[in-house]
Amino acid sequence: MFISNRSLEVQNVSYQVENQIILNQINLKLDEGKIYSLIGPSGAGKTTLLEQIAGVQKVTSGAILFDQMPMKEVIVSLVPQDYGLLPWQTVEKAVLTGATISRKRALTSAEKTEIKYLVEEMGLASHLKKYPKQLSGGQKQRVAIARCFASQSAIFLMDEPFSALDAFTREKAQQLFLNCWQASQPLTVFVTHDIEEAVLLADEVIVMAANPGQIKKRIPSPFSNKLDLIKNRQSLQLFETVQALRKEIEA
Ligand SMILES: Nc1ncnc2c1ncn2[C@@H]1O[C@H](COP(=O)(O)OP(=O)(O)OP(=O)(O)O)[C@@H](O)[C@H]1O
């Protein structure tokens, strides 16, 4: 059992562009060793909140801390909506560079072997020498996820990480994600429009409301064993939780 008491705290974060309030007094305490999904209607501010946590967007009102440190001192791994791959880096280079930067040192040969295994598991072995323009959307997304795991950061932030995958590949990637996640159990926050995915993968679903963007509800996972995706996908708990969430989002 993974034991940790570090947490990410979003303290009274608000964000306004011109006269539009995009985030309105967001308060969240998120614990290490857990996966959180962020759902809500379009325009609720999910991406904005994720990017403020990641430090991509400046926090102009309120504070975001991890283990009581400001986020600029914390290394996070972000899977952005556009995958964030550099056009001049091959798949291999992208994953290895991500891992080196987050560790702030050269990789050991054991770490390189582990990363190679991860890349193979992600179905990318035959694409190692390819550049982003030579990859499909789904392949790019898998590179971004592999780079995230290879980084071994304490915090993973993912914006619709499985959205470009077809249904079958998506189910495989979700299972692979949960299996890989078990090894280090980073505090993970992911945005999704897929309510089923939000319930299946997360320990807690965070529902946002729009105009202005705010936290509406937090709903714990109904599953005792999240790893058993096949069983959970067919369960009554999934059906009931998805129905309840749908009402919450539409209300
Ligand atoms: N830099 C910006 N300038 C002006 N408006 C912005 C800016 N960034 C975000 N917004 C607005 O903030 C609101 C929230 O956007 P955001 O992308 O965070 O929402 P979202 O919940 O992720 O939406 P979606 O589900 O459609 O991806 C939207 O109304 C958007 O138009």
How confident is the model over 60-100, as pLDDT tens digits?
A: 999 999 999 999 888 899 999 888 899 999 999 999 988 88
Domain 1-74+155-163+187-251 classification at class level: alpha beta
Give whole-number Cα distances, 31 to 97, 155, 171, 185, in Å: 28, 10, 26, 11
Q: Is 43 in the pocket of ligand 1 (CB under 6 A)?
A: yes
Q: Is 80 in the pocket of ligand 1 (CB under 6 A)?
A: no
- State residue 165's pLDDT score: 84
Partners of residue 237 on adjacent β-strands: none
Mean pLDDT score, 25-46: 96
Point out the least confidently predicted range of 42-46, 109-113, 215-219.
109-113
How confident is the model over 103-125, as pLDDT tens digits?
A: 888 888 888 888 888 888 888 99
Q: Is 157 in the pocket of ligand 1 (CB under 6 A)?
A: no
Ligand 1 atom closest to 208 (CA): 21
Cβ neighbors of 235 (< 8 A, separation 6 or more) are 222, 223
- State residue 2's pLDDT score: 54
Q: Which amino acid is at 200?
A: L
Give the distance (Å) from ligand 1 centre to CA of residue 48.
6
- State residue 4's pLDDT score: 64
Tokens (6 digits) for 6: 């570090």
Cβ neighbors of 82 (< 8 A, separation 6 or more) are none
Mean pLDDT score, 39-59: 94
ipTM above 0.85, yes or no: yes
The rounded distance, in Å, linking the Cα atoms of 102 and 81 is 20
Q: What are the extents of the domains in the chain?
A: 1-74+155-163+187-251
Q: Is 139 in the pocket of ligand 1 (CB under 6 A)?
A: no
Give the distance (Å) from ligand 1 centre to CA of residue 83.
18
- State residue 209's pLDDT score: 95
How confident is the model over 2-28, as pLDDT tens digits?
A: 556 899 999 999 999 988 999 999 999
Q: How many CB atoms lie within 10 A of CB 4?
A: 13
Nearest to 9 by CA among 48, 52, 45, 44: 52
Mean pLDDT score, 113-139: 90
